[in-house]
Every structure is written in C-alpha cells, then in structure tokens.
Structure 1
Amino acid sequence: MTVHEDAAEALLQDILEDDKATAAMLKLRSRHIRGEMNEGDIYGTGYADALGSSARYAPNKWPLHQHAAFALLHALVGAGDVAFTYVSTGGVPGADADRRGNASKLEDTMAPFRAELDMTQHGADADGLFRWDEPLRIGRSTGAHFYPSGCQRAQHALVTYPTLIERGSAPLEVGDSWPSRTLLHLLEDGAVARWPYGSELIWLLVNLERGGIGL
C-alpha cells in the first residue's frame, strides 16, 4: 500500500472506535453508492468524483478506508476547513495515454487559471500543475444549511461566505485518484486540482486550515 492508503487505514481505525463517526461514515457511503453525492443540487455536479474516483471500482467496491478518507474530505468541506471552486476547461479527460489530447483540452481552461500537464510524468507525485494568476474569491462553508425550496423533497444547500485565496498553484490530478491521495495533497501541498473522468470541470480544493487535517 502507498503512504496515503496507510494513512487512510489509520483514519478508518480511529473512526471505527467511535460509534457516531462510524454511523456517519456508513450513511455517507450509502449516499455515495446511490449516486447522490455527484448530483448538482448541493455541491455541484461531479462533487464526489472531485474528492476521489475510480473507473475500475464502483463506490460499492471501494475499500472501506477510502470511504473513511472520502468522509473526512466531505466533513472538511462542510466545516469550511476546505474551500472549493470549479473551472471550465476544454472537455472531459481522455485516457492517461492520450497526454497530447488532454494537454490540448487544458489549453482552453478558463482564465485566470492555467493547467499544465506533465507530458512524461514517470512516477511524479501529480499529473501536472494548476495555477491561478491572481487572487481568488471563492465560497467557504459556514457549516450551516438552508432549504432553497419549500418542497418536502428539496435538498439543502450550503450557506457560504467569500474567502480570499492568494495567487498560487496546486498539483493537478487527472482521471482517477483515490480520496486518500486527495487528502494527502491537501495536507502536504495545501491544495489540489481534480479533473475527473467524465467531467468538463477542474475542481480546485484549498486547505484553509493547512496542518490541521488529521492524516
């Protein structure tokens, strides 16, 4: 196993020692398996895949430690410790081998963002680099929710407030990337950009409490 998977295993053991945390993780796992976490009403279409995805394994086949990592990521977003935004680009990513095709699509990433794909990679820690050339104002969760509709089936929405992120960069992960890898990027790099398979959006996740993530 990799370092980030080992860390997720340790996280899982901590969760399993707390009945409430275990119940919360399993409830979120069920929602994820049903596809609810990728719907656009609350967080944005493709939210779950931005936190972590696998084309090889459907969520119901994920190792439980990856659901633990997913649950922590979701909790950090909900608490406002991690802010996110998403950015349009030139299409959905192709296969890893089609690096030229993917690089061409990334040329259409919306300004002031720039996405650069590592054309060789060879075991690098990420697939490329995602930059923003000016300060960003993005939404940060307050931890509270509201119901935008009086319909009984209406889903809640996050209450957010703007926060300023200085110009900078983040590792870019294209296609599949386990939630444990996303967590480790947030801890080590302070941010990560995800371009999941099937998405025309790059999701930028920023750790606003760097150093406070319990991996």
Structure 2
Amino acid sequence: MLCFTIFFFFFFLDIAPPRNPSWLEKIQQTVSSILQAVNFFQNPVDKSEAARVRKEYEESSTKLSKLQSRISSLTQKLKHDFGTEKEFYSFYGHCFESKQNKYVYKVCPFKQASQVEVHTTTRLGHWDKFEDLYRSMIFSNGDRCWNGPDRSLKVKLRCGLKNELTDVDEPSRCEYVAFLSTPALCLEEKLKELEYKLDLMNKEQPQGHDEL
C-alpha cells in the first residue's frame, strides 16, 4: 500500500503543472528520504557473486588446511636426528625387511621395528636413538616377553651398496640384534679412509722447508 501511494504521488508530480517548484522539491526530498530509510533504493543481492565469494573462501580454507598439515609434518621431521651430515634423512618414511625362517622382520627407522609370523605381529621396539657414533639404531620398549623384559632391538649399521636388512638374531632373551647395510655409511667410511691416507702422507713428507 505504501509503495502504491508513493508511486501515485510521484506520478501526480510528473503530470501536475508546476505551480511552486520550491515546494515540490521539498516534497520530493522528503519522500526520497523516506524511501532511503526503508531501503527501497537498496540493490538486490547478486546470488552469483555471493556463490563466487563462498567458493573462493572454501578453496582458501582448504589450501590453508593443507599448508598447516604440511608444516606440522615438517616440524615432526625436524625433531629427528638424521646424523651429523643428515646422511640418514633418506631413512625417514621407509622400512627394511628380512625373512628369517618363519619370521619376517621389519625395521622402520624413526618409528618402530616388528616381527611378523603369518597374521601375528610382535613389536620389537619403538624408535629410541642412534648409538655408537651413528653406527647403531636402538629400538626399545617393545612388547613384553612372557615372564620377561620388554623386547628391544639393536640394528648395527655397516657400509653396503644398497639398504639391506640381514642377520637378525636373538642373542639374549627378548633382546634382538640385526645388521643393516647402507650406502649412507659409506660416505663417512670413505672420508675416514682419505683422512688416514692424508695423515700418512704428512708424516712421510720431509721437514725443514720453513724458509720457503
């Protein structure tokens, strides 16, 4: 009803002869103010624009979530000790297996080690640390032995052409030992070999050339 009245009023103003322009202008300004107050001049909502903004927000939220997950994963990696030259970084996220008789031994550096027999898995230990100047990996606090201690595993590292887990043994009850050949250790051994040869050369070099 209000819309019809206002429309009729403006229509009447358009067809009526202007007797007093100043008076008409005042009336028009008053009606215009009323219309603005009740939002008659407000533009309708653009649904397609709202959908676009919503889509951009959802995509940005997804990207942010992925970035936060990536940062969390990298933060967890940085907590590990990968060696003096980060030579054991390639071990992260990898597992090494060896079949010995009826058992399959699985060693996952920085995580855990296990012994699998058919469908039964026995935890030999959780990742603990490196020992012996990065020559051994220690896994401790594994599944408890029957009437005995918690299982543990010591993996001795040695130079090899490829990563290969071998010679898993149990020299003491529930205390396991294995060997892991890896190229990661060859770099260190090669360096020590070169340092040893350099020391021999320095010792064999004649002295007395300080004046040069």
Q: TM-score range by the shorter chain?
A: under 0.3
Q: Which one scores higher on RCO, CA 8 angstroms, separation ≥ 6?
A: 1
Structure in which a larger fraction of residues adopt helix:
2
TM-score normalised over the length of structure 2 = 0.22
Give the greater-gyration-radius structure (CA). 2
